[in-house]
A and B are shown apart, each in its own frame.
With several copies, the nearest count.
Chain A
Amino acid sequence: MKKYIHDFQIIANRRINTEYFVLSLANEKKLPEIKPGQFVQVRVDNAPNTFLRRPISVYDVNYEKNILYLLIQVVGEGTRTLSELKNGEKLNLIYPLGNSFSLPDSEKALLIGGGVGVAPLMFLGRWLTEQKKEPVFLLGFRNSELQVDIDRFRKLGEVYISTDDGGAGEKGLVTQHPVLHNDTLDISMVYACGPDVMMKAVALWAEKKNISCEASLENTMACGFGACLCCAQETVQGILLVCTDGPVFNTKELIWQI
C-alpha cells in the first residue's frame, strides 16, 4: 500500500476523560484506503523533548467526510502536547502504516481491548459490520471514569466491560470476565490489543479454546515503515518487524518476551 506524508488539520479535539482524547483530522485530499489495525506516525511539533514521531493506531475513518480519528492516551510529553492541539492547527502524518486484521470465518468475532488498546477495535468493529460480521467487544479499563466511548462501541455490537475496581462492568481483568467462560459464545476469531500481559493471557485462552487469535503489538519505533529495524519482534519465523510485518500478528507466531 502506498504511504503518504500529509499535513492534516485538527477539526476537533474531544476530551474523553482525564487520560484520553480523540483528534479528528481532515485533509483536502481524498483519504486513501486505510485498513483496520493500521497506524499513523505523528510528528509532534512544539514539544522540546519529542524528537521522533509517535505511532498511533487509526481509531476510525469516515471516508464520506474524509476524516481520520485518533484515540490517544496522555502518557508523556509527546501525547500531552498533542492533547493541547486546537482546531485549525496542523498535524503531519505518515500513513497508512503496517498490516491489518484479517476476516474471521464465523459470524461472530470477539474484540478484546485493554486501556488505550481499544483504539484499533473501533475501526475493526466498523469494518466487521460492513463485512456482515458481528463484533462482540470486551473492553477493560482501570476504573469507570476511564471508559472510552462505550456508546459508540455499542452501536457496532454487544459490549462487555470490566474494570480493575469493579466500578463498571465486571470487577477484575478482562481475561477473568465471565463472557470468556461462557461456552455459548460462538466465535472462531478473537482480536486483542492492550498490555502485553493481557494479550498473552488472551492468546493462551484462545489456544486452549482452539480459536484463532490476532494481537496488535507495540514496540519502540524510530521510523514506522521498515527502514530502521528497531521494532524487532521474536517470532517462530525469526525476527520480524512490528511496523511492517505487524502490528497485527497471529499469536501462534509470537514468542512472547514476558
Chain B
Amino acid sequence: MADLRVCIGDLHFKNPVTAASGCFGYGKEYEDFIDLGKLGAVFVKGTTGSNRKGNPYPRMVETSSGMLNSVGFQNKGIDYFISDIYPGIKQYNTHIIVNVSGSTIEEYVMVAEKLNDLEKIPAIELNISCPNVKEGGMVFGTHCPSAIKVTTAVRKAYHKTLIVKLSPNVTSIYEFARAVEGAGADAVSLINTLLGMAIDAEKQKPVLATVTGGLSGPAIKPVALRMVWEVYNAVKIPVIGIGGIMNATDAIEFMLAGATAVQIGTANFINPRVTVEVIKGIEDYLVEKDITDVKDIIGALKIPG
C-alpha cells in the first residue's frame, strides 16, 4: 500500500486525483457511478456573482481526440449556490472547491468573500482563464498586470487556500504563474481550454453559436504537459495538472512533470468512473515500482544530459 496523500498549501488531499470544474456538475451527477468520497477533491462549476444563463447553443462539437465547448458560466450565482446547493453537497466526504468566475475584479472579490464562511469549502479556484465569456474571464488570464490585480484583490478578501487557474492561450505561462505566486496564490492549476474553432463546411457556418470555444481532451495533453513542466520549474507553490487525462498513465505523466495533483475533465463524460480508476491505477504503478509515497514521483522526471 502506497501513501497517496498530497498537500496543496495547507490543504490535505487523500489522493492527487480530483475532478475538473465544469465537467463534474456539483458532484451529484456522478453519485450513481462512483463514491465521491474516494476523490482527492471535486472542483465544482464556475460560480459567478449573479445568475448567468450561459451562451446560446450549439455549445459543443467533437473534434479529433477532443471537444470544443462554449458553455459560458451557466450558473445561478453565488447566493443560490450558498442557499440551495451547498447544503446538499457539504456532506460529501471529499473537499469541495468552488471555481470562482467573473467579469470584474469586484465580482471575483464578492464571490470569494462569500465563500469564506462556508465551513466545508476549504479552497477556491480563481478562474481567470475561461475563453467563453466576452468580458473578464480570459482577459485576466492573458494580461499579466490584470492577473496580478485580481489575484491580489481576491487574496485580501479570501482567507483559505487560493488556487489560480491559468490560461494556456499565452506566450509564457510561467510568467503568469510567477505573477500570481507573487500576488499570494497558494497554488496554480493548469491548463484551462485552448481557444479553438470548428466550421461546418456544408453550411459554411461556425459550428458553435459563439464561433469559438474551448478545446479539451487528449488532443491538448502534449501542450498541457509542457506547460505544467514549465510552470513547475518556475514557481515554488504546488501545481495542479489538467488537460486530456484519460487514464492513470496520463495522470502519472503530469505528476512526473511536476503536478502535485491532477484534475480530470472531459474524460468523465466518456467514462464517469474514470476518476476512481485513475486512483487505482496510480496505486498499482507505485506498488509495481516499489514506491511507497506518491509524493516521490512529483517532478521526478529525469531530464537527460
Contact = CB atoms under 8 A, between A and B. Distances in A.
A209 interface: no
A222 B266 contact: yes
Contacts of A223: 29, 268-269, 272
Contacts of B55: 232
Contacts of A225: 29, 272
Interface in A13-55: 43, 49-53
Contacts of A4: 32
Label chain B's interface by main secondary structure: loop
B59 A229 contact: yes
A91 B273 CA distance: 17
Contacts of B69: 222, 228, 230
Contacts of A238: 53
Contact of A51 (B22, B217, B273): B217
A222 B63 CA distance: 12
B60 interface: yes
Interface in B117-156: none
Given A43-B270, A220-B59, A228-B269, A2 B22 contact: no
Contact of A227 (B24, B56, B62): B24
B80 interface: no
B172 interface: no
B145 to A, nearest CB: 32
A94 interface: yes
B269 A227 contact: yes
B163 interface: no
A3 B74 contact: no
A56 interface: no
B58 interface: yes
A33 to B, nearest CB: 14
Contacts of A219: 57-58
Nearest to A94: B272
A221 interface: yes
B97 interface: no
Contact of B269 (A53, A232, A257): A53
Interface of A: prevailing SS: loop
Nearest to B29: A227
A232 B63 CA distance: 19
Nearest to A50: B62
Contact of A49 (B33, B64, B268): B64
A2 B32 contact: yes
B71 A229 contact: yes
A228 B29 CA distance: 10
A10 to B, nearest CB: 20
B305 to A, nearest CB: 12
A191 B56 CA distance: 26
Nearest to B75: A229
Interface in A229-257: 229-234, 238-239, 257
Contact of A52 (B29, B33, B270): B270
A227 B30 contact: yes
Contacts of B32: 2-4
A231 B71 CA distance: 9
Contacts of B22: 228-229
A166 interface: no
B61 A232 contact: no
Given A5-B272, A227-B29, A220 B60 contact: yes
Interface in A97-144: none
B25 interface: yes
User: Which of A2, A51, A234 has the most chain B CB atoms inside 10 A of its CB?
Assistant: A51
Nearest to A232: B57
B54 A239 contact: yes
A231 to B, nearest CB: 8
A110 to B, nearest CB: 29
A157 interface: no
Given A219-B57, A230-B69, A232-B59, A5 B273 contact: yes
A226 interface: yes
Contacts of B64: 49, 51
A220 B68 CA distance: 11
B184 interface: no
Given A5-B272, A51-B62, A223-B272, 4 more contacts: A49-B64, A51-B65, A51-B217, A53-B269
Q: 5 closest pairs, A vs B, by CB?
A: A230-B60, A223-B269, A227-B29, A3-B32, A227-B25
Interface of B: 22-25, 29-30, 32-33, 45, 53-67, 69, 71, 74, 217, 266, 268-273
Interface of A: 2-5, 43, 49-53, 94, 219-234, 238-239, 257
18 contacts: A5-B271, A49-B64, A51-B64, A51-B66, A51-B67, A51-B270, A53-B269, A222-B60, A222-B269, A223-B272, A225-B272, A228-B269, A229-B22, A229-B71, A232-B55, A233-B57, A239-B53, A239-B54
